[in-house]
Amino acid sequence: MPDLILTRPLCWVEHMSLDNETGLDCPGIRVRPVSGLVAADYFAPGYFVWAVLIANLARIGYEEKTMYMAAYDWRLSFQNTEVRDQTLSRIKSNIELMVATNGGKKVVVIPHSMGVLYFLHFMKWVEAPTPMGGGGGSDWCAKHIKAVMNIGGPFLGVPKAVSGLFSIEAKDIAVARSFATGVLDKDVFGLQTLQHLMRMTRTWDSTMSMIPKGGDIIWGDLDWSPEGYYNCSAKKLKNNGTHTPGQIGKGNTSSKAEVNYGRIISFGKHVAEVHSSEIERIDFRGAVKGNNLANTTNCDVWTEYHEMGVEGVQAVADYKVYTAGSILDLLQFVAPKLMQRGAAHFSHGIADNLDDPKYKHYKYWSNPLETKLPNASDMEIYSMYGVGIPTERAYVYKLTPPSECYIPFQIDASADGGCDDSCLKGGVLSVDGDETVPVLSSGFMCAKGWRGKTRFNPSGIRTYIREYDHAPPANLLEGRGTQSGAHVDIMGNFALIEDIIRVAAGATGEELGGDRVYSDIFEWSEKINLQL
């Protein structure tokens, strides 16, 4: 894939795009995931993903017949991986085969990133009746799964997904645009790079699974967020030893000014900082989309922004600020085709009554706030993630000057907090996390939502939080580091690998030492008023 991106980028974009109406294959194009352990051992030569963990599991006796790499097409909605490729059925069959051929020993499942949400979906699918589900029965998970060890799990979504869908940006792209104005918008080869990427990613229904879930109750509103005061320059002891809850993670909540993390998108730095009573807003919902933004005859690629018109763009900016509760309406306004498809496959709310028959539909299965864990009291669930790295949580935006084929919104890289410990840098408000997933998303369900017997965890499955405090490599010989907490590099973290090997060899969460916490996840979770 890296070779094709560099040598034939438009060919790569064409083949990686899905049909904008169906969310499945485009006519005449067929792209499928590689199977076997080689599917994700290395992303490119020398850049490991699962290879280090596979090698270490081999050292304690695991081999290809006792390990299964559940490769799936991460562009598709989760249910559509079954419709097109029968991926969920293959996972079910392979788990059953491994249990049957290894003396009835249950499996340890290790999902990473979006795979965490995919396996949540699987656990509901496998027990649900056919044809919507796998027909395994209500005790399938109890019979087949020992533990689910989730790495870097975006259980409640990631704000980064919002900026990706809204303006095809993240922190690094915003900085690049500020230093090289216009290069990414219309580069030296005459290609609208960001527009091509936006057109492609908005055909991937799976991106809908990453939009923040739980609305303002989880993520905060105009004047409140669970993280409250957070010191972005806090220095913590780098030590991945085992600790009990409360021993680590205290004393990190002081800061000079409160950060309004609940304002996921703000148009202007002033709007991001002032009290909500000082913000004048004009509701964009129902606004009439006007004439085309500009002459689009010379565009290399069409995006939905070409149909919004100046009036539609201005309506978005005039609303000033968006919380998790209004983000879905915003995306519905700017990306209607994606949202129409995605709404049939994903949900982002909080269930009032989980016994309501509507929650038997697959669209709810990957949302931990709208589904129940399996009836499997002996199973264990781990949330394993890095901490200590500034992670995108909210954004300051601005309108871009009108031009041909442009994307009208971009992160305002000039917006800065102005002091060393400010959480606002380059138009991005950061909080504790693994550089991709904030602690709140990775840790809340295991810290509170699923802790003990709750309506989301009726059988009382034991949950454990295992945090890994980030320490960058000491020198070049360490490569990507052995104590990294970064979202992908954590796959080479020695402490994480040790935890997985011990559980794979038969240990329980209690034998690992229970929770190991460096962040303030328990304190933040207590501030969230969620009915349990």
Asked if 113 is an active-site residue, the reply is yes
**Rounded CA gap, 251 and 48, in Å?**
35
Query: Which listed residue (17, 383, 487, 499) is catalytic?
Result: 487
For 423, the token pair is: 């959480």
- Our answer to whether residue 361 is catalytic in this structure is no
CA-to-CA separations, 4 to 8, 11, 12, 46, 284, in angstroms, rounded? 5, 8, 6, 18, 41
Contact 455, 532 (CB under 8 A): yes
Residue 223 three-state SS: coil
**Alpha carbon separation from 71 to 40, 238, 526 (Å, rounded):** 8, 34, 36
326 contact partners, CB below 8 Å, separation of at least 6: 319
- The angle at the Cα of 403, spanning 402 to 405, to the nearest 5 degrees, equals 115
Residues 6+ apart with CB under 8 A from 52: 491, 492, 497
Catalytic residue among 185, 205, 412, 434: 434
**Sign of the C-alpha dihedral computed for residues 94, 96, 100 and 102 taken in this order:** positive
The tokens describing 159, both together, are: 């704000």
Q: Which one from 17, 113, 167, 383 is the annotated catalytic residue?
A: 113
User: Counting Cβ atoms within 10 Å, is residue 7 exposed (0-12), middle (13-18) or buried (19+)?
Assistant: exposed
Cα distance between residue 434 and residue 136, in whole Å: 35
Name the DSSP letter for residue 146.
Answer: E
Give catalytic residue positions: 113, 434, 487
